Amino acid sequence: MEPLRTMFAITLRAAVLTAVACALVACETTTGSGAVGVNRSQLMLISAEQLDQMAGQTYNALTAEATKKGQLNTDAAMTARVRAIAARIEPQTKVFRPDAVNWNWQVNVIDSKELNAFCMPGGRIMFYSGLIKQLNLTDDEIAIVMGHEIGHALREHSREQISQQIAAQTGIGVGAALLGLGGAGADLANQGYQSLVATKFSRTDETEADRIGLELAARAGYDPRAGLTLWEKMSAAAKDAPPEFLSTHPADANRAATIRSLLPTVMPLYQAAKPKGVAG
Ligand SMILES: [Zn+2]
């Protein structure tokens, strides 16, 4: 078969497989829609439990390595600050999915110049000190980043992305690792890092995470208008060298417009929740 026709056949097969899997068993929506209205149906070909196991091993490997290098939670004040913000946001996740409040939430800070942060499946949060220091983030802005990252975890975007790769037959390695065919735990952790941290999210995923993140931050009493200043700072930083964060979370020119359009929905949630004595 000609290469083009082969490619077409593979694409068609993936599309048919996706459609069939969706029609039969594997489609679900991971969250309630919240005030911001996120309810897209998602293809899931691996279980949340499989991915949770991989995420646990990956996160443990990452924190162990940072500890070994003397880079884990070295700045006690910064760690306390990030954990305090997480503690206010975590209870708000029940709006989107009641099970999330019972996740084993973990929040740590790695001392690194990298401008990065993520929340792995199951509530495993990591902030890199470079993001907070170099962008001089306010608590509100940290809350927006955290809400965004938690949004990806609540929507199980990584699980969906791996499922799509399996459907398109490009995720064989991670599929084998998840099924226990990939050998030792180090392989699983390595595959996990590639699949859970280093992978680019789609524009659709980004918009969903923005919407959910804004609502989470607002309900936790953080000013959702910080979404606008955060992404301005991020874009400015990208002019020198693109932050790691932007390579995995592709920026969209419409991001600010999306945030602005949601402010009338989320500002009242913020006004109702913000600590007394805070102006604005
Ligand atoms: Zn993102």
Q: What is the pLDDT along the chain (280 residues), one digit of tens a residue?
A: 444 454 445 445 545 555 555 555 567 788 888 888 787 888 887 888 888 988 999 999 999 999 999 999 999 999 999 999 999 999 999 999 999 999 999 999 999 999 999 999 999 999 999 999 999 999 999 999 999 999 999 999 998 988 887 777 665 566 666 655 444 555 666 777 777 777 889 999 999 999 999 999 999 999 999 999 999 999 899 888 888 888 888 877 789 999 999 999 999 999 999 877 666 6
Q: Which residues are catalytic?
A: 149
- Ligand 1 centroid–CA 101 distance in Å is 21
pLDDT at position 162 is 84
Report pTM: 0.84
- Ligand 1 centroid–CA 49 distance in Å is 22
- Over its C-alpha atoms, the chain yields an Rg (Å, rounded) of 19
Rounded-to-integer distance, Cα 196 and Cα 215, Å: 23
Query: Are 128 and 116 spatial neighbours (Cβ–Cβ below 8 Å)?
Result: yes
pLDDT at position 259 is 95
How far from chain centre, in Å, is Cα 156?
8
Residues within 5 A (CB) of ion ligand 1? 201, 206, 209, 249
pLDDT at position 7 is 47
Stretch (H or E) spanning 147: helix 139-154
Q: What are phi and psi of 241, to 5 degrees?
A: -145, 130
Q: What own/partner pairs with CB < 8 Å and gap ≥ 24 does 262-268 have?
A: 262/36, 262/210, 262/211, 262/214, 262/215, 262/224, 263/224, 263/225, 265/35, 265/36, 265/215, 266/35, 266/36, 266/214, 266/215, 266/218, 266/224, 267/218, 267/224, 267/225
226: tokens are 């910080």
- Ligand 1 centroid–CA 6 distance in Å is 33
Torsion of Cα atoms, 211 then 82 then 116 then 143, to 10°: 20
pLDDT at position 121 is 94
- Ligand 1 centroid–CA 131 distance in Å is 14
How far from chain centre, in Å, is Cα 254?
19
